[in-house]
């Protein structure tokens, strides 16, 4: 069930990003949007490089090799989702349309569904996950 829901979450995120791109609401020349988007790209690259050779799965699927708690994962349990949401939110806000806001909400909603599923699967796969979760934030330090 969690793998199916996580796939739906991924499709929601992807649909939101594609929709923002198709409506030219993903990128903005405004420095107020470019700065957080650049930070999001750096966070995503850092998180991805920390994961190393672990592959991406459409469905949430804990991989072998231990729980990753280095790099940005020291503070955030889901830095890639944080980066995706920051990137799309900056683009949507810069364009200021209600449709861009809806598409950004689709990305955020998909990320929340996916991280909820991942955390359930990680807790079942890694006994140390609950201790790790107790000392890290999900997506936004000091908020969530």
Provide the domain count of the chain.
1
Q: Flag whether 61 is in a domain.
A: no
pLDDT at residue 144 is higher than 70: yes
pLDDT at residue 12 is higher than 70: yes
pLDDT at residue 123 is higher than 70: yes
pLDDT at residue 24 is higher than 90: yes
Going by pLDDT thresholds of 50, 70 and 90, the confidence category of residue 3 is: confident
pLDDT at residue 19 is higher than 70: yes
pLDDT at 84: 96
pLDDT at residue 38 is higher than 90: yes
Q: Flag whether 141 is in a domain.
A: no
pLDDT at residue 60 is higher than 80: no
Long-range residue pairs from 48-57, CB within 8 A, at least 24 positions apart, any chain: 48/80
Long-range residue pairs from 98-104, CB within 8 A, at least 24 positions apart, any chain: 99/23, 99/25, 100/20, 100/23, 100/25, 103/15, 103/16, 103/19, 103/20, 103/23, 103/25, 104/16, 104/20
Q: Flag whether 111 is in a domain.
A: yes
Which residues share a beta bridge with 76?
Answer: 137
pLDDT at residue 58 is higher than 70: no
Q: Which domain holds residue 97?
A: 2-52+66-134
Q: Can you give the three-state secondary structure of 103-131, one letter per residue?
A: HHHHHHHHHHHHHHHHHHHHHHHCCCHHH
SS3 53: coil
Going by pLDDT thresholds of 50, 70 and 90, the confidence category of residue 55 is: low
Q: Flag whether 81 is in a domain.
A: yes
Report which DSSP code applies to 127: T
Contact, 65 vs 124, CB < 8 A? Answer: no
Q: Flag whether 15 is in a domain.
A: yes
Q: Flag whether 34 is in a domain.
A: yes
pLDDT at 26: 94
Q: Flag whether 94 is in a domain.
A: yes
Give the residue-averaged pLDDT of 37-47: 96
Give the residue-averaged pLDDT of 81-105: 95
Give the residue-averaged pLDDT of 109-136: 93
Q: What distance in Å separates the CA atoms of residue 96 and residue 12, rounded to the nearest whole number?
A: 21
Q: Flag whether 47 is in a domain.
A: yes
Q: What distance in Å separates the CA atoms of residue 56 and residue 45, rounded to the nearest whole number?
A: 14
Give the residue-averaged pLDDT of 31-57: 89
């Amino acid at each position: 069930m969690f793998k199916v829901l996580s796939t739906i979450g991924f499709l929601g995120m992807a649909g939101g990003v594609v929709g923002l791109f198709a409506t030219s609401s993903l990128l903005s020349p405004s420095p107020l949007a470019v700065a957080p988007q650049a930070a999001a790209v750096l966070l995503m690259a850092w998180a991805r490089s920390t994961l190393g050779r672990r592959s991406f799965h459409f469905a949430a699927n804990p991989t072998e090799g231990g729980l990753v708690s280095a790099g940005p994962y020291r503070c955030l349990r889901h830095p890639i989702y944080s980066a995706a949401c920051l990137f799309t939110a900056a683009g949507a806000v810069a364009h200021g349309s209600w449709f861009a806001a809806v598409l950004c909400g689709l990305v955020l909603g998909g990320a929340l569904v996916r991280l909820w599923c991942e955390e359930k699967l990680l807790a079942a796969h890694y006994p140390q996950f609950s201790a790790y979760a107790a000392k890290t934030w999900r997506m936004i330090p000091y908020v969530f």
